[in-house]
Structure 1
Amino acid sequence: MIEFAFPLALLLLPLPLLIRLFPAYKESRDSVKVPFFDKLVDLSEQKPEQGARILRRSTLQKILVNLTWLLLILAAAKPQWIGPPIEQQKSGRDLMIAVDLSGSMEARDFTLPSGVTVDRLDAVKQVLKELAANRESDRLGLIVFGAAAYLQTPFTDDHQVWQQLLDETEIGMAGPSTVFGDAIGLSIKLFSDSDSDNRVLIMLTDGNDTGSTVPPVDAAKVAAANGVRIYTIAIGDPATVGEDALDMDTITRVSEIADGRTFRALDQDEMRQAYITIGELEPELYETISFRPRQSLHWVPMALISTLYLFYHGFFAFASLWAGRVTNAP
């Protein structure tokens, strides 16, 4: 399909008709008046003509001029070839995973389907592999936190790289304690640089906040104001006491404020079910971008004009040259 980028230029097409409203152009030339004009005519063997005349174009010239004007206007209107619609899908949601790497994650109280007992972090990694495989439409990010919160993986569509960086995490690499609120604060900062309007944070911890700069509840209020939904997964034994005790009141309060939900995972099956439920609450989302490729065709009428004029002048130059050779032939 062909469209014009500047269709108003076509209004100039009848402009040459206005020229007919004006008188013909007159050009004066100097002349010499002599008393022996008749003798001069006889000697020059030329026939006297009228002193003023209007030059008339040939039919071919008229066609060429009108066609040139038409092609110039078409070029000015900039015709474009519009191709068929092309649709592209991109990630519709930014999903940040925040994993607790405090020392309490060393507890080996999770059993894999194979019967092997593993620590809490290994159990988390196994479930997150399934999560990444089922969230192909989402951009994933990874935050690890302990005594401080660190960005392990920025938002990316490359889930293989995300998985590799997750596998490289180790217990204690972020410090021994748990800064739950700072991890939320870091995720808010990362979401502020995101273009997506669908922002989800999954917090996974087995302890309680032990000295965040921003209290978790306050951080959750800021997250809610920035459109970030928070789902928290508390793992481990809720009966634990001391520094490793689960602060379920704070964890639940954070999810409620940020329009999310709280899950308890005492084993890997419950943890997997938590991610399945989150997947149902946050279904895969695609954003479709549709565009039609445009190819400018303004060069076509310009090329036709050049071809016509080259052919026209070339033809008459050749005809004139040929006529001169015939005249000078013996």
Structure 2
Amino acid sequence: MDFSLTDIELAHPLWLLLLPLPLLIHYFLPGYKTKQKAIKVPYLSQLIKGLDLKTQDDTSLLKPSRWQKVLLCIAWCFMVFALTKPTILGEPQIREKIGRDVMVVVDLSGSMAEKDFKALDGKSISRLDAVKKVLAEFSQHRKGDRLGLILFGDAAFVQTPFTSDHQVWLSLLNETQVGMAGQSTHLGDAIGLTIKRFELHADKDNAPREKVAIVLTDGNDTNSVVPPLEAAKIAKAKGVRIHMIAVGDPLTVGEQALDMDIIDKVASLSGGKAFTALNRDELVDVYNAINKLEPQRYQSTTYRPKQSIHHYVIISLLVIYLLMFGRQFILSWRNKAY
């Protein structure tokens, strides 16, 4: 790792103002003088005058040697530098903030095998295949969102838990087949399972995120344990917004009839929107509209981790003092020895 002075940051740089303090003390405050032993001579004045000697005060000022001055200056600089709490900036790291959890709920009842949708090349494809193709495009616009997948028919089950790996999510979506969850349409149970998955996911992650469910169906509810409208009220209370997409012709009658009244009320009660899609182009428009209603809230911030090094500076300061006093102790011990 390359290192430069720009990688050092001072948490409290104002302590650097103390650096010239020893110089100010040296010039504006008197030094400490010590008294030394002297011999009293009655005729000292005549002796000094006769021999023309120079006299000095009976006190002396202790002065450090050159190497002691250098070490004292270094020690003072280290102490002030430690007070600033220097930190080393690490390599830049990227922190990603995810804005939404989006649960896609897909109807796999038998009517989803109807080939009344057109592909881009004009060939007739099933409703489920059209949904897969459109959802592949939809996932590309949900950068940063965590996607989940619930499938329902006679019962509802989780195909993909919430994940930020959209490729895995899309692969599991492409593995789905009509009828693998049964032939009927338990819409209310699917919404109930969706709410439960949001609650379980919230227990693992306390970060606040918006909860969005996109429910795609082509039939009316058939004997769900929890009626769709009751499930929608619970979703509203739990903060789950549901967008409903009705696939197929709303004028269809019989078992495959779309109950648009229920679909509209479920979306309205939960704070979402209801859409209809009679063909692939309309389905694309629906998901584009949802993208506008639920714009991605993806934030990527760059930061550099900080590691304080002030304790290393203090250790260096202690080593300097040990060298200073250790050398003085050794010299004193030698003088006593000889």
TM-score (normalizing by structure 2): 0.71
Aligned-pair CA distance for 1:309: 3.1
Residue equivalent to 2:241? 229
Q: Confirm or deny: 8 A CA contact 1:3 1:81 kept in the other structure.
A: no
Q: Please list, as runs of the form range in 1=range in 2, the aligned pairs for 1:43-82 lying within 5 A after superposition.
A: 80=87
Q: Distance in 1 between matches of 2:144 and 2:109?
A: 30
Query: What is the Cα deviation at residue 112 of structure 1?
Result: 0.3
Give the whole-Å Cα distance in 1 for the aligned partners of 2:285 and 2:184: 27
For the 8 Å contact 2:163–2:169, the answer to whether it is kept is yes
Corresponding position of 1:303 = 315
Question: What letter corresponds to residue 251 of structure 1 in structure 2?
Answer: I
Report the counterpart of residue 191 of structure 1 in structure 2: 198
Alpha carbon RMSD of aligned pairs, Å? 3.4
- Cα offset for 1:315? 2.5
Partner amino acid, structure 1, of 2:236: A
Q: Does 1:160 align with 2:164?
A: no
- Look up the match of 1:136: 143
Matched with 2:25 is none
Q: Which digits, 9 at most, give the CA deviation of each residue in 1:52-74, with x for residues without a partner?
A: xxxx9985899989998997898
Task: Indicate the SS of the match to 1:151.
Answer: strand
Matched residue count: 279
CA distance in 2, matches of 1:219, 1:74: 63
Which of these residues, 211, 214, 220, is aligned with residue 223 of structure 2? 211
The equivalent of 2:10 in structure 1 is 2
Q: Secondary structure at the match of 1:203?
A: strand
Which residue is equivalent to 2:276? 264
Residue identity opposite 1:212 in structure 2? S
Tell me the residue number matched to 2:111: 104
| TM-score computed with the length of structure 1 as normaliser | 0.73
SS in 1 for 2:261: helix
Q: In structure 2, what is the Cα distance between the partners aligned to 1:141 and 1:221?
A: 21
1:79 touches 1:298 (CA, 8 Å); kept in 2?
yes
Please give the alpha-carbon distance, in whole angstroms, between the structure 2 residues aligned to 1:139 and 1:241: 37
Cα deviation, residue 284, structure 1: 1.6
In the alignment, the residues of structure 2 paired with residue 125 and residue 196 of structure 1 have an alpha-carbon distance, to the nearest angstrom, of 29
Work out the CA distance in 2 between the residues paired with 1:308 and 1:93: 56
Q: Which runs of 4+ in 1 moved over 3 A?
A: 56-87, 287-292, 316-325
Per the TM alignment, residue 79 of structure 1 is displaced from its structure 2 partner at its CA by 5.2
Q: Deviations over 1:10-56 (max 9, x none)?
A: xxxxxxxxxxxxxxxxxxxxxxxxxxxxxxxxxxxxxxxxxxxxxx9
Partner of 1:161, secondary structure, is helix
- Structure 2 gaps of 5+ residues are 1-8, 16-60
1:250-307 deviation digits (Å, cap 9, x = unpaired)? 0111011111111111111111110011111111212456756321123233222332
